[in-house]
A and B are shown apart, each in its own frame.
Chain A
Amino acid sequence: MPLLELENLQKDYGGLRAVDDVSLAVAEGAIIGLIGPNGSGKSTLINLIAGSAELSAGRVIFAGEDISALAPDAVFQKGIARGYQEPSLYFKMTALDNVLLPVKGQRGEHPWYAPWRRYWQRDEIKHAEAAAAVLDQVQLRQRFDTLASDLSGGQMKLLEIARCLMGKPRLLLLDEPTAGVAPKLAYDIFRQIARLRDDYGITFLIVEHRLEILFDFADYVYVMHLGNLLAEGGVDEIASDATVREVYFGD
C-alpha cells in the first residue's frame, strides 16, 4: 500500500482551476520528485496535501486514512511535515527554540505548570537533547543559540528540515529545498535528504527546479503542466520524454 495517495484532486480559485484531477501515489521510503514549469500547480498540490488549502474535490489518503478535511496542525500530528520555498522560520527565535516548537505533549505547555520551572525543566532538557540530536543531523548543532535570522540561506533550509524532523514525520513535503542556495550547498541538502531516507525511512515529496540535482537523487518523478499530471516515470524515462522536454525546456 502506498504511504500517500491522491485521488482526483481538484482545486479551483474562483474561475481558475489550479489543480485539475491529479491522482498519484507515493511509496513509503521513496524520494519522489514533482516538477513542472512555474504556475503548473505544484505548490498548490503541496498546500492541498498539508491542509493549508481546502480541496475543491478529491481525496487525500495517508497511511490508509482519509485526511482530506484536516487542518494543518492535525495533518502535522498525523506525520506529514512540510518545508517552504522561502524559509519559514521564527526569525526572532534561536535555532534551538525553532526546533523545540513542534514538540508534542510538553509539560511546560500547560498554563498551570508553565510558571513553575521545576515542573517542566527535566522534560525540557529531554526535548532539548532530542532537538540537539536533530540539529546535529543537519550540522547545525554548533549554532543552536544563533537567532534564525542570523543563519545563512542554506542553513535556514536545513533548520526548516530539522524542525520538520522534530515532529517525527513519515512524509516530508519540500517546496524547492534548494531555492536561493549556492550549487554546492544544494547538493549537500539533497545528500542530507537521501541520508534521512536511508537512516529513518522518511518518505520525501520534493518540488524542485534544479533537475540536474533532483535527477541524481529521485526514485520517481511526476511532471505537472497547467494543473494536470503530464507524465510520470523513472528519472531516465522523464529525462528523455519528448512532451516533458517540450513544456519544460521549450525544445
Chain B
Amino acid sequence: MPPALLTTSLVNTIQIGSLYALMALGITLTFSVMKLPNFAHAEYVTAGAYAALIVSLSGVLNPLVIMIAAFAVGALSALISHLAVFKPLEGRDVSFYTLILSSFAIGLIIRYILFTMADYFNLFDLRIAIPLRIVLRDGNLILSNLFAWVVPTSVILVIILTLLLNRSPLGREMRALANNISLARVIGIRVERVKNYAWLLVGGLAGVAGALWGLQTAVHPLMGWGAIISVFAAAILGGLSSFSGTVLGAYVVAFSENTVMLFLNANYGLDLAFKPAIPFIIIIAVLLLRPQGFTNLIKRAEELQR
C-alpha cells in the first residue's frame, strides 16, 4: 500500500473514530442506564446535523453556536422519544424486544419527519458551510481545518462525559441506576429525573456528533442510519458497558473500515464495496467469540496498574 494512502487512511481513522466514539458512548450509556439498545440513536445524529446545517444556512457561521444548536435539537429529540414512547412502554412492563422494535419505530418517525422537511425546503446533500482550509501539510500528511475541529471537539466531549460519569454527583446517580434501579428508588434517588438528564446528555452528544459529521460530508436524512451499524459495532466491542472499551472499539471499527479495508484492497484486490460488511463481521465475531468485548481486558489492565 502506498505510504500516501496509508497516511490518509490513518487520518480518516482518527477523524471517523472520534465521531464513532461520540455516538457509541451514547449507545453504551442508554444501554447501561436505561437497559435499552436504542436504534433511534442514529436519528438524533441526523437531527443534530440538520439543526447545524439550518443554523449555518441562516448565516451564523460561529462553530460554537452551531454545536449548541445541534446539541439542543439532539437532546430534545432524545428526551421526546423517551417521554412519548419509552417511558409509557416501560410503565406497561413490556418485554425487551418490544422496546427494541419501538426504538426502530421512533427512529423511522424522526427520519421521515426529517425527510419531509428536507424535501419541502430542498435541503438534500448540502454541506455545513465552513470553508475548507489546509492547516498542516507535512510530506504525505495533509490535515484540513475539519480535522482540527472534529477530533479535538469529540475527544474533549468524550473526556468531559467520562469525568462527569465517574466523578460528579449526577454520574454517581447514573451509575447507581445502571447498577440496580430498584435500590436507587428505595434510597430516594429521583430515578425519573436522572433518566431524563441521561437522555438529554445522550441525545445532545449525538446531535453534536451529527454537526461534526455534517462538516465533513453532505447532510442527508439517512446519514445517521448509515453509521448506526458501525456505531453499534463499537459499543458491542465495549461490551455495551465499558466506556473506555467503547472508545477503543470506536477507533478499532474506524481503523478496520479505513486502513484495513484499503490494505485488503491494495494487496488482495478486495473490492471497496465490501466496506459496509466490516461492522457486521465485527459484531458477529465479537458476539460469537467474546461477548463481553473489551470489558474484562480493560479491567485487568486497570488492576495491573494499581
Chain A interface residues toward B at CB < 8 A:
50, 52, 71-73, 76-77, 81-82, 88, 90, 92-93, 97, 100-104, 106-111, 114-115, 117, 120, 124, 163-164, 167
For residue B108, CB closer than 8 A to chain A, the reply is no
Shortest C-beta distance, A168 to chain B (Å), equals 10
Among B172-200, those with CB < 8 Å from A are 172-173, 175-176, 179-180, 182-191, 194, 197, 200
Tell whether, in the assembled complex, residue A163 and residue B163 are in contact, meaning their CB atoms are under 8 Å apart: no
Tell whether, in the assembled complex, residue A101 and residue B173 are in contact, meaning their CB atoms are under 8 Å apart: yes
Tell whether, in the assembled complex, residue A114 and residue B170 are in contact, meaning their CB atoms are under 8 Å apart: yes
For residue B131, CB closer than 8 A to chain A, the reply is no
CB contact under 8 A between A93 and B168, given known A111-B200, A167-B187 = no
Number of residues in B with C-beta < 8 Å to the partner? Answer: 28
Shortest C-beta distance, B95 to chain A (Å), equals 21
Chain B interface residues toward A at CB < 8 A:
160, 163-164, 167-173, 175-176, 179-180, 182-191, 194, 197, 200-201
Distance between Cα atoms of A76 and B182 in the complex (Å): 13
Tell whether, in the assembled complex, residue B169 and residue A124 are in contact, meaning their CB atoms are under 8 Å apart: yes
Tell whether, in the assembled complex, residue B186 and residue A115 are in contact, meaning their CB atoms are under 8 Å apart: no
Please name all residues of chain A whose beta carbon is closer than 8 Å to the beta carbon of B189 when the two chains form the complex.
Answer: 73, 101-102
Tell whether, in the assembled complex, residue A117 and residue B176 are in contact, meaning their CB atoms are under 8 Å apart: no
CB-CB nearest 7 A-B residue pairs: A76-B188, A108-B169, A114-B170, A114-B168, A72-B185, A111-B197, A106-B169
CB contact under 8 A between A104 and B188, given known A90-B176, A90-B179 = yes
Shortest C-beta distance, B161 to chain A (Å), equals 8
Greatest chain B CB density within 10 A among A103, A110, A111, A163 is at: A111
Please name all residues of chain A whose beta carbon is closer than 8 Å to the beta carbon of B164 when the two chains form the complex.
Answer: 114-115
Greatest chain B CB density within 10 A among A71, A72, A93 is at: A72
Please name all residues of chain B whose beta carbon is closer than 8 Å to the beta carbon of A108 when the two chains form the complex.
Answer: 168-170
CB contact under 8 A between A88 and B188, given known A100-B169, A114-B169 = no
Please name all residues of chain B whose beta carbon is closer than 8 Å to the beta carbon of A77 when the two chains form the complex.
Answer: 188
Distance between Cα atoms of A152 and B200 in the complex (Å): 39
Please name all residues of chain B whose beta carbon is closer than 8 Å to the beta carbon of A71 when the two chains form the complex.
Answer: 185
Please name all residues of chain B whose beta carbon is closer than 8 Å to the beta carbon of A164 when the two chains form the complex.
Answer: 187
Across the interface, A115 reaches (CB within 8 A) one of B160, B182, B200, namely: B160
Tell whether, in the assembled complex, residue A167 and residue B188 are in contact, meaning their CB atoms are under 8 Å apart: yes
Shortest C-beta distance, B202 to chain A (Å), equals 11
Given contact pairs A103-B169, A117-B167, enumerate 7 new A-B contacts (beta carbons under 8 Å). Answer: A93-B172, A101-B187, A109-B170, A111-B201, A114-B171, A164-B187, A167-B188
Across the interface, B170 reaches (CB within 8 A) one of A52, A81, A111, namely: A111
Tell whether, in the assembled complex, residue A73 and residue B170 are in contact, meaning their CB atoms are under 8 Å apart: no
Distance between Cα atoms of A71 and B14 in the complex (Å): 47
Across the interface, B169 reaches (CB within 8 A) one of A73, A90, A120, namely: A120
Tell whether, in the assembled complex, residue B188 and residue A73 are in contact, meaning their CB atoms are under 8 Å apart: yes
Tell whether, in the assembled complex, residue A73 and residue B191 are in contact, meaning their CB atoms are under 8 Å apart: yes
- Of chain A, the residue at the smallest CB distance from B163 is A115
Please name all residues of chain B whose beta carbon is closer than 8 Å to the beta carbon of A120 when the two chains form the complex.
Answer: 168-169
Distance between Cα atoms of A108 and B164 in the complex (Å): 9
Across the interface, B187 reaches (CB within 8 A) one of A76, A106, A110, A111, namely: A76
Across the interface, A72 reaches (CB within 8 A) one of B168, B169, B186, namely: B186
- Of chain B, the residue at the smallest CB distance from A107 is B169
Distance between Cα atoms of A108 and B171 in the complex (Å): 9
Pairs A–B under 8 Å by Cβ, sample size 21: A72-B182, A73-B184, A73-B186, A73-B189, A90-B179, A93-B175, A100-B169, A101-B173, A103-B169, A106-B169, A107-B169, A108-B169, A109-B173, A111-B197, A114-B164, A114-B169, A114-B170, A114-B171, A115-B164, A115-B168, A164-B187
